[in-house]
């Protein structure tokens, strides 16, 4: 099993290097730089050129990237030009809000997806199954920013029940988490349905029914318990995606997380902060996915047997 863990850890290194270079290259293509975005007309052209020379902005892309990666391996992710603080410190201050949003979003997704998926599987090829499929397709195709704006208009502007932005108060998490959760629930619902359909056709389920076990016990104690492994795996994957995919939601609700920090840094051409945020988010998502794979490897005897050999 340790071979499997080592392999997963080693795979993180090329992934992080590739992500950092791609982001570094894309940000470099944007017109202007962080000095123009932050200082504007406050400094003269000569002063800006002096700052660029001192900060190494006039070096080639490969030289700047090599210098940046070298500093990253030393534990220094650079200083943000926009906020005048270390990029690592800014990220660590914002990541709890993003984790809170991602976990609550997945929690809401599971609350919606598992009951709908189970009901859809039990009533396969009926009106209920068709309705659940339509709801799932709507959830997958509906843009998150559009759904978030609709909730702001209804629950904040019209009814005044919930705050429309920020992370202040207990009710502030409801609309952002719902926006994340509804989109995630669609895929999890289809996974639950497929997994349940596979399990309820097994011989031991027919045997339990033949013995007179109540249908509720058959479905929720025997079938759902054995169908949870792929559901948990899909939920973990969606959680990893949610960590890096809450940018739009955080922007809509002005949520003080990593996504909004990344957007603000990109608008200011703050290459150091943008690359730092994306590298750390990729690392966090990859580590989370790695732990899910490791847990799944302990559960699935096929993976355990392959790496035991």
Question: Is there a domain that residue 77 lies in?
Answer: no
In a domain, 55, yes or no: no
Contacts of residue 37, defined as CB under 8 A and 6 or more positions apart, other chains included, come to: 82, 267, 268, 269, 270
Domain membership of residue 145 as a residue range: 87-267
Q: Tell whether 68 is covered by a domain.
A: no
pLDDT in tens, 251-281: 888 888 888 888 888 877 777 888 888 888 8
Cα–Cα distance measured from residue 8 to residue 29, given in angstroms and rounded to the nearest whole number: 32
Is residue 39 assigned to a domain? no
* Structure-token match 């619902």, residue found: 189
In percent, how much of the chain has pLDDT > 90?
A: 0
CATH of the domain at 220: 1.10.3720.10
Chain centre to alpha carbon of residue 171: 22
Q: How far is CA 129 from the centre of its chain?
A: 29
Distance in angstroms (rounded) separating the CA atoms of residues 208 and 214: 9
pLDDT on residue 140: 76
146 found inside a domain = yes
Closest listed residue to residue 83, CA positions, set 216, 212, 272: 272
Predicted confidence at residue 32, as pLDDT, reads: 63
**210 belongs to a structural domain:** yes
Q: State residue 299's pLDDT score.
A: 59
Triad 132, 133, 134: Cα angle to 5°:
90
Could you tell me if residue 98 is inside a domain? Answer: yes
Q: What angle do CA 31, 34, 39 make, to 5 degrees?
A: 110
- How many Å apart are CA 49 and CA 57, to the nearest integer? 9
Report the pLDDT value the prediction gives residue 120, as an integer from 0 to 100: 86
Q: Please give the tally of structural domains in the chain.
A: 1
Q: Is residue 30 part of a domain?
A: no
d(CA 106, CA 166): 20
**pLDDT < 50 stretches in the chain:** none
């Amino acid at each position: 099993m340790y071979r499997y863990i080592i392999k997963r850890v080693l795979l993180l290194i090329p992934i992080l290097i590739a992500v950092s270079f791609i982001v570094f290259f894309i940000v470099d293509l944007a017109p202007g730089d962080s000095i123009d975005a932050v200082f504007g007309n406050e400094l003269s052209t000569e002063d800006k050129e002096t700052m660029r020379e001192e900060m190494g902005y006039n070096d080639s892309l490969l030289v700047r990237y090599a210098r940046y990666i070298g500093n990253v391996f030393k534990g220094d992710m650079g200083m943000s030009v926009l906020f005048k603080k270390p990029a690592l410190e800014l990220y660590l201050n914002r990541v709890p809000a993003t984790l809170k949003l991602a976990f609550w979003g997945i929690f809401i997704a599971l609350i919606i997806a598992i009951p709908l998926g189970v009901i859809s599987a039990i009533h396969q090829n009926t009106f209920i199954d068709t309705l659940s499929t339509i709801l799932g397709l709507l959830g997958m195709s509906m843009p998150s920013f559009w759904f978030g704006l609709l909730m702001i208009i209804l629950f904040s502007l019209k009814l005044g029940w919930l705050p429309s932005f920020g992370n202040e108060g207990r009710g502030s998490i409801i609309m952002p988490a719902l926006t994340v959760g509804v989109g995630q629930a669609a895929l999890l619902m289809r996974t639950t349905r497929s997994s349940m359909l596979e399990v309820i056709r097994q011989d031991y389920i027919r045997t339990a029914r033949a013995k007179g076990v109540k249908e509720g016990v058959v479905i929720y104690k025997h079938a759902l318990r054995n169908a949870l492994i792929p559901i948990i795996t899909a939920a973990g994957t969606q959680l990893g995606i949610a960590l890096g995919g809450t940018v739009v939601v955080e922007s809509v609700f002005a949520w003080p997380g990593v996504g909004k920090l990344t957007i603000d840094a990109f608008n200011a051409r703050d290459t150091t902060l943008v690359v730092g945020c994306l590298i750390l988010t990729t690392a966090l998502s990859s580590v989370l996915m790695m732990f899910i794979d490791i847990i799944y490897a302990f559960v699935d005897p096929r993976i355990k047997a392959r790496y035991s050999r």
